[in-house]
Amino acid sequence: MTNVVFWILAPLAAASGFMVFVFNSMARATIALLVSFLASGGLLIWLGLAYLGTVVILMMIMEMVIMAVFMIAYMMNPAGLTQMSMYHNKRGSLAIGTATFVLLAAGIFAAPWPHRAGRAPRDPTFQLGTALMGPQMLTMIVLGVTLFATMVAAVVLATHRGRYDRFGDDLKRRPPADPVRGGVDG
């Protein structure tokens, strides 16, 4: 039974990942990538990492939908809406992709996996987190805050309408000059 789950989800993840480069539509390529992520999330749940698997599913649906919107919006011309090729340097990318897959898959069989000592807890998410980043936890937390601050700063720098545009130079204009009336502050 458990192997059935693997043999459905693992080929699905690999095949739909490959289909990203076969489809000639932005929308289909994005959804193929999403299917690949969903299958990977399912595999994580199957491995007993329910929290990680579910979060992968949750985040990837949101991210892929938003990515589809932006990829289609930013494609020059109406290429996002019409058919287009998803790759440059077809042979090179195919060779690199296949080689990477073979290398990683070979690593699975070549690695000397340890035998299980003791029993796994009901939800091993905490143990996995400690094993992955234990001594580096402080670094990871600082990194997370830094990344978030970078994102906020980038949005602040990129926005073409800041508070001085809305509330005037002395920040006293009420209601603010918004292109669309209404909302929270009138």
Partner 1 sequence: MVGSAPLWAVLAVPAVLAVFALTAATADAVLAARAAGQRVTWTVLAAPLAEVPRLLAAQRRTTPAPDALLWRLGLAAIPAAGVLSAVVIPFGHVTVSRMSVGVVWFNAMEVLTWAGVWMAGWGPNSVLSLVGGYRFVAQGLAYELPLMFALICAATGAQSLNAADIAAAQGHLWFAVWMPAAFAVYLVSVYAFSFLGPFAYPAGRDLAGGVAAELSGPDRLMLEAGRWLLLTSGAGMAVPLFLGGGAGPALPPWAWSAVKTLAVLGLLVWGRRRLPVIRADRYAELAWVVLIPLMIAQALAVALVVLTMGGPP
Provide the binding-site residues for partner 1, judged by CB under 8 A. Answer: 25, 27-28, 31, 34, 45, 48, 50-51, 54-55, 57-58, 61-62, 64-66, 68-69, 122-123, 180, 182-185
Please report where in the chains the tokens 């199957």 appear, as a residue. Answer: 46
Evaluated on CA atoms 74, 79, 80, 85, the torsion sign reads negative
How far apart are CB 106 and partner 1 at their closest, in Å? 31
CA distance 156 to 8: 45
Q: 81 Cβ partners below 8 Å, 6+ apart?
A: 26, 72, 75
How far apart are CB 112 and partner 1 at their closest, in Å? 29
Report the residue number, 55 or 75, with the smaller CB distance to partner 1. 55
How far apart are CB 61 and partner 1 at their closest, in Å? 5
Q: 26 Cβ partners below 8 Å, 6+ apart?
A: 68, 71, 72, 75, 79, 80, 81, 84
Report the residue number, 135 or 183, with the smaller CB distance to partner 1. 183
How far apart are CB 154 and partner 1 at their closest, in Å? 17
64, 34 contact by CB (below 8 A): yes
Report the residue number, 111 or 120, with the smaller CB distance to partner 1. 120
Report the residue number, 15 or 55, with the smaller CB distance to partner 1. 55
